[in-house]
Amino acid sequence: MIAPGHPATQDHPAAGDPLRVLGLRRNYGGVNAVAGVSFTVPAAGITGLIGPNGAGKTTTVAMIAGEVRPTGGRVMFHGQDITRQPPGRRARAGLIRTFQLSSEFKRLTVLENLLVAAGGPGETVTGALLRRRAWRAHRALVLARATELLERYGLAHQANVYAGDLSSGEKRLVEIMRALMAGPSLLLLDEPMAGVHPALHGRIEAHLRDLCQRGLPMLMVEHELSIVERCCARVIVMVRGAKVAEGTMPQIRASDEVKRAYLA
């Protein structure tokens, strides 16, 4: 195991780390699905979250996103304690999650999926009086943003195709684009390659690296270690609900405890 004092463990987070998870726990009927996990996600790059099935990775991400209430511990986002905030409020603050199973609106077109994800302008007394003008301006901005993403992700020619008719890899790209339409400052990716044909892995990886270069930090749950090695600067390992190691992939691969619990 990488010692807690090792620099790679980030026990003393740097100023500006957008996400800090502090002693997060979740019990189900006396079973510790997550047992006091602590880590940070820095303001740059992709942080990988790996471990065998049942390690508690998805439960941890769900607690960070607000979909599962922690039994104990705290979630800090940009210095604010959001442990008790509902998912919608976290999303509006910029903490956006994608899911292991694609969640596109199958009977909406690709473009419509993106437009729905962007939401609308807030409703105030002044806004109500100027509603038409506000909605026209908002719609123009959203449409321009959606068009730019469709071009960048190579799906402009399928803008008017029903999302349910896309391939698994294309659906995953739509989900990522929908997340970007919501304006994230940190993206939670739950197995973004799940169900995707291996031939399309490289395309999705390239887009994730591009997002890194554009300054969007990510926490990514992923089973395929070769993908983690190519994409993630730092990796957190969970086994049976606990964090057992943290560091670079070469450090993780050299850990005897990780080898015994996960990589062997």
**pLDDT tens, residue by residue, 10-32:** 344 455 789 999 999 999 888 88
Does residue 34 or residue 7 have the better pLDDT? 34
Residue tagged 């607690």 (tokens): 63
Per-chain mean pLDDT for the chain: 85
Instruction: For the chain, count helices (H), then strands (E).
Output: 10, 10
Name the strands in the sheet holding 234-239, side by side, starting at the edge strand that comes first in the sequence: 95-97, 186-190, 218-221, 46-50, 234-239, 242-247
Is residue 261 over pLDDT 80? no
Domain with CATH 3.40.50.300 in the chain: 7-104+185-263
| Cα separation values, 214 from 25, 209, 259, Å | 33, 9, 34
Rg (C-alpha) for the chain, rounded Å, is 19
* pLDDT digit string, tens, across residues 102-120: 677 888 999 999 998 876 5
List the CATH code of the domain at 7-104+185-263: 3.40.50.300
Predicted TM-score (pTM) of the model is 0.84
Query: Are the C-beta atoms of 213 and 152 separated by less than 8 Å?
Result: no
Instruction: Report helix, strand or coil for 188.
Output: strand
